[in-house]
Structure 1
Amino acid sequence: MVTIIGFKKTRKDDGTEFNLLELNGGIEFVKSKETERLYATMRKCFISSTFDDEVCIS
């Protein structure tokens, strides 16, 4: 499951401001290629949005 855990305000080269949503995935187990042991990890990324600050906070 993907969860929105925050947002960040950023600016394009032309000065236009927009918000990036910070997304966090659920815990997944990955097998190491070297040791072949399992370890838990969580993926995290940012995605651009057209939402204003109020919508991002909610």
Structure 2
Amino acid sequence: MVTIIDFKTFTKDNGENFYGLVVQGGIEATRSLQSGKMYFTAKTATVPTTFNETTCKSLIGTTLDGSVKKVECDSYDYTVKDTGEIIQLSHRYEYITNEEEILHKNLIPEEVVA
């Protein structure tokens, strides 16, 4: 289950705005690699929409079936907001529907079957 917690405005190359809904998954306990202590976190992802700003605002607080999952991608530079440090990441977080999760867990990749 995810909850819509916010929305973001993006600008297309042609100058037109569009909106993305920020969804947040459930609480997760994670152990810090630096201190070794446990802390709570929740993964978030931004999902593009065809909605206008008014609709996006009205959807905040809505819950949807699905989850936010870590997905591998091409490497990119990311600036840590608190420190300004630039690090390289090779993952992002995406909203995944329950149906997509079931398919991902149960389908055998084509290259394995061939």
Q: TM-score, normalised by structure 1?
A: 0.74
Q: What is the RMSD of the two structures over their aligned residues, measured on CA atoms?
A: 1.9
| Greater gyration radius | 2
Percentage of pairs with the same residue = 40
Aligned residue type for 2:15: G
Q: Deviations over 1:6-48 (max 9, x none)?
A: 1111101121210011111110234567888754321011111
Residue 14 of structure 1 corresponds to 14
Distance of 1:47 and 1:39 partners within structure 2? 26
Equivalent position SS for 1:10: strand
Unaligned 5+ segments in structure 2 are 59-114
More RCO (CA 8 Å, sep 6+): 1
Residue 63 of structure 2 corresponds to none
More strand by share: 1
What does 1:1-58 align with in structure 2 at a 5 Å threshold?
Answer: 1-30=1-30, 39-58=39-58
Count residues in correspondence.
58
Q: TM-score, normalised by structure 2?
A: 0.43
Unaligned 5+ segments in structure 1 are none
Residue 79 of structure 2 corresponds to none
Aligned residue type for 1:42: A
Q: 1:29 to 1:16 in 2, by over 3 A?
A: same
